[in-house]
Copies of this chain bind each other. A is one copy, B any other.
Amino acid sequence: MPRTDRVMDLLELLRGRGAVGVGALADELGVSRRTILRDLATLRARGLPVTGEAGPGGGVRLEAERGVTAVHLALDEVVSLWLAARLSRAASDLPWGDAARRGLAKLLASLPRERARDLRALCRRVVVGPPASERVRGATGRPPPELLSRFEAAFLGGRGLAFAYVDAAGRRSERRIEPHGLLVQPPAWYLLARDLDRGEPRTFRMDRVSAPRLLAEVAFRPDPAVVAANLPAGVDWQPLGT
């Protein structure tokens, strides 16, 4: 992970957490103790009130911050949490995951109304399948974040999306699509779409997509039927959203 990302993650970890050991942070971020200390120095240099205490029970902490900073949740974070809650519910057949769902509901309720509405609209078009039985080759488990945010913008704005795609055989092609939904089948994410050039439903594995861009000139209305048409029959697919 690039240093910049790590330092920003570190800041988020420190926010709202009390004293944490440098070693724990190092493990959590997958980097050496020394590096964490350097990162902390960077934050201090920016004027953030990071203090440390030596001795057993010590640790570093972020003192009270001036001002209120809003936390921005990305689409994949919401989807993953939601999914996690459901997984854990399924895992132990009883109403175990209910508390997790309640927590999420509160989370959604705390968002500004528009953002919550958007997220709900998105989640209604997210379909969750059973984890892939075979290991999906090369799937990383997280779709490229900027592709997700493009998808978000395209879906919510009702605009087309264009991107470069490399299929399973390694052939590169340029695609123009209407994005109608997402399929999450751990560890891979798929785009459920209508191919504008071929005029038929298509599924694209998100980690094979690159250079996505909005097609301002293409307008469409998201259609659940396209999502359904992209799903193979006979499998227990479930919609994520309510």
User: A residues engaging B (CB < 8 A)?
Assistant: 2-5, 7-9, 12-13, 15-18, 20, 24, 28, 41-42, 44-49, 64-81, 83-85, 87-88, 91-100, 102-117, 120-121, 131, 139-142, 144-146, 149, 186-187, 242
Contact = CB atoms under 8 A, between A and B. Distances in A.
Number of copies: 2
B5 A46 contact: yes
Given A48-B72, A91-B186, A149-B44, A141 B98 contact: yes
B4 A72 contact: no
A66 B77 contact: no
A88 to B, nearest CB: 4
Contacts of A146: 41, 44-45
A94 B49 contact: no
A24 B120 CA distance: 14
Contacts of A139: 94
Contacts of A5: 42, 45-46
A156 to B, nearest CB: 12
A80 to B, nearest CB: 4
Contacts of A81: 81, 84-85, 99-100, 103-104
Interface centre among A18, A20, A96, A108 (most CB of B within 10 A): A96
A68 B67 contact: no
